[in-house]
């Protein structure tokens, strides 16, 4: 049985196993920025924005935090 993968950057070169995603949150809040800072300090921040503005964060089961240029609603639609 194959895993479902989602594209997490506009150039479609990065993929993430959807079964490892714990949460998707919008980046426009103070707690999201704090989560980004803590992940960076722990060495678990992955920037997949390709230089575009960060719109949402993906949290995985390994406590990695992915920065993406997709908005939360777009990512949730990809996960369905």
CA dihedral of 14, 24, 26, 11, whole degrees rounded to 10: 10
pLDDT tens per residue, range 5-53: 666 655 567 778 888 899 999 999 899 999 999 999 999 999 988 888 9
User: Buried (b) or exposed (e) across 53-72, using 16+ Cβ within 10 A?
Assistant: ebbbbbbbeeebbbbbbbeb
What is the pTM (predicted TM-score) of this model? 0.83
What is the model's pLDDT at position 1? Answer: 46
CA 6 to CA 28: how far, in whole Å?
22
What is the model's pLDDT at position 7? Answer: 64
């Amino acid at each position: 049985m194959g895993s479902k993968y989602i594209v997490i950057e506009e150039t479609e070169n990065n993929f993430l196993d959807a079964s490892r995603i714990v949460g998707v949150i919008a980046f426009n809040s103070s707690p999201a920025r704090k989560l980004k800072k803590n992940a960076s300090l722990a060495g678990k921040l992955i920037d997949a924005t390709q230089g575009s503005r960060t719109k949402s964060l993906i949290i995985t089961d390994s406590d990695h935090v992915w920065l993406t240029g997709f908005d939360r609603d777009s990512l949730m639609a990809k996960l369905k």
